[in-house]
Amino acid sequence: MAGRGLLAAGLVLLAAVAPAYAADYTVGDSSGWASGVDYSTWASDKTFTVGDTLVFQYGASHNVAEVGSSDYSACSATNSIQSFSDQDTKVTLTKPGTRYFICGVSGHCSRGIKLARQILRFDRYSCLYEHFEI
């Protein structure tokens, strides 16, 4: 019986603490959202999960548009899901799946200012599976 109480207390504590594991990623690191950055290479060693935040930092000559898959391939921001031009855009990743971002300024996406990443589900309880029998 005490084991179940300990497990319940652990689950409650983990549910409260799990959001602290979310990470902020500055897209392009110190280069920001600009020409001359290979965003596929930048993202290749990172795992993005629900709760993480992408931070886009860019100058006035750029913007950020979240688009669908076909618009990403076509470098078109015409039907963007959301768009930003505040030069310091923060996008919280709220659900799993692939997210697509481009610079909507004419010609910028085709010159490489675009990012497509798979967002993974964060399983806040996965670390418990190794330690408790449920």
Q: How do residues 35-75 score in pLDDT, each as one tens digit?
A: 999 999 999 999 999 999 999 999 999 999 999 999 999 99
Q: Which of 19, 27, 13 is nearest to 49 (CA)?
A: 19
Distance CA 64, CA 67 (A): 10
pLDDT tens-digit profile of 60-116?
A: 999 999 999 999 999 999 999 999 999 999 999 999 999 999 999 999 999 999 999
- Structure letter (DSSP) for residue 68: -
pTM of the entire predicted model: 0.78
- Which domains, ranges and CATH numbers included, belong to the chain? 2-129 (2.60.40.420)
Amino acid type, 106: S
